[in-house]
Amino acid sequence: MRILPALTALSLTTLGFVVTSPPALAGGGTPVKEPTAIGYGGAVATVDATATAVGLDVLRRGGNAVDAAVAAAATLGVTEPFSSGIGGGGFLVYYDARKRAVFTIDGRETAPATATDKYFIDPVDGLPYDFSEARVSGLSAGAPGTLATWEEALDRWGTRSLAASLRPAARVAEQGFEVDATFRQHVADNAAAFGQFTSSRELYLPGGAPPAVGTIQRNPDLAATYRLIAEKGTGVFYRGAVAGDIVGTVQHPPVAADPWGAWAYPIRPGVLTRADLAGYRLRFPAPTRSDYRGLTVYGMSTPSSGGTAVGEALNIIEAGLPTSATATDRLHYYLEASALAFADRNRYVGAYTDRPVLKKLISDRWGAQRACEIDRTKALVKPVAPGDLNGSGCATAIAGGAVEEGQSTTNLTVADRWGNVVEYTFTIEATGGNTMVVPGRGFLLNNELTDFNFAPTQGTAPDPNLPGPGKRPRSSMSPTIVLKDGKPFLALGSPGGATIITTVLQVLVNRLDLGMTLPEAMAAPRGSQRNSAGIQAEAAFRNQYGPVLTPLGHTFAADVAELGAATAIEFTRGGGFIATAEPTRRGGGAAAVVHPKR
């Protein structure tokens, strides 16, 4: 998405953009998406050129990485509203250069206080709701954590106020941006659901159809909401007028008297209350930590499974991969380690997993225990069983079922001239969230609670991801910061539901084991093995690597158009940056640096 082509340099300045350096600005004032930028003074990478431009301008005006990340995130809430926004939640990982330490914020959504493990079971027939029925309902919306995350990050580590951070995004929402093919497709994919609600169809289906590419999308209600929060603080969102409107939308969905298009399910109200919003609290867990080839890898702990799964898979690869490994061996071990880590993740990891269990899963000893299952010459039969926490050698436990989660999320990576780093993944879950725009407020609500397992998935063993009162659903978001000798070497993250874990892991393997540069590692074709019978892969991955992987027994599921939409920054000698975003996936991303290398 792009801001109005007709905007002049003067009006861009009022929006908070500086127009004299990358991201390059077309003659009409439109930020141009450049997937890679190399230089100094700070760097930003997001999926959207306007958001990257906002974050870059904050850095150039003296703001730090947190200031720029929040301003860019607020802008993504305008231009990428189907993947992010103040109606959702996420996880932020921060490297503090002064303290030389990594910190995290858990801004994941929470279930209502009245939720039980049968929250998604239809009381009429005792069966789980179909996913679409649960998603497009008030039941799926959890108490949002995004706005609280922004405020807390700024209070702890930023230099600018939340009000200042929201102003550029409010101006973009008010003046509008140019609809691109990705934005239009997201509306088209949700047209049937959006058409059920007066507020959603008014904003996203003008004239009864998705907005055409090249038209201008404005959101004056969101602009007003941002300005209200800037004036009155986050209390208006969690305890005041906006909270009332959120609860009203959940408990009384704004169903149109004349819905546009058919919808197969009843639209069920939810039970989220004002007390649930007022009682929302952030968490600050210690990051996960694992060592890989002399590097220290930090990630997000529960309720995200990302840090644990990525760390475990890296440990398995390091423990099992022979020193004489070929490129085929490295891909084979990447896929096998992914399957093993997912088996353990599904069986053991949830919001309330005990710390000793998490510590064991990410230990070198556990990695070696799981690596002993891998045969260099033959792929394991999938699905594999989880490891036995009380066993030794290659002992396994009772196999559980596969579980998945929604695909729509966004990610940004920011670094500043002082060496501070933000890796932030945030979401409203499925593309379009629960598809309900809060009337008069301009933002979509999340359907994050559908990330819970609707019914037990682990046979006779306990399921760690069933709903519960105030509980956070398990996530795969994997914001990751890698240190070398105690200083940042690489930061990366991606959207993509459960494929987030494999996307982050594969970029790391590409960069660290297969000798690719960071831009090459990002652009390379992707395959994802999440302990299923076949590898989910982009066609280019299957075409390029299938001939060497299928003789080992690997099989492929139906191709997918794309996996992930990552952003990353690598830190070079002398304080330099290589900032990267996707060249083509999800329409391509935008990377920029304060002082480009000439």
Catalytic-residue membership of 409? yes
Q: Are 409 and 83 in contact (CB under 8 A)?
A: yes
Q: Which of 30, 104, 302, 409 is catalytic?
A: 409
Cα(61)–Cα(59) distance, rounded to whole angstroms?
5
- Among 90, 167, 117, which Cα is nearest to 423's? 90
Secondary structure of residue 380 in the 3-state scheme: coil
Query: What residue type is 210 in one-letter code?
Result: P
Residue with tokens 């409010």: 170
- Among 349, 429, 427, 426, which Cα is nearest to 139's? 429
Cα(287)–Cα(421) distance, rounded to whole angstroms?
14
Cα(438)–Cα(199) distance, rounded to whole angstroms?
7
Q: Which tokens belong to 252?
A: 């009384």
Residue with tokens 């949830």: 350
- Among 138, 87, 133, 114, which Cα is nearest to 432's? 87
Q: Which residues contact 176 (CB under 8 A, 6 or more apart)?
A: 3, 4, 216, 217, 218
Cα-Cα-Cα-Cα dihedral sign, residues 187, 189, 190, 191? positive
* Chain centre distance of CA 480: 12
Q: Which tokens belong to 27?
A: 């003659």
Q: Which residues contact 61 (CB under 8 A, 6 or more apart)?
A: 18
Q: Are 72 and 591 in contact (CB under 8 A)?
A: no
Secondary structure of residue 103 in the 3-state scheme: strand
Q: Are 301 and 285 in contact (CB under 8 A)?
A: yes
Catalytic positions are 409
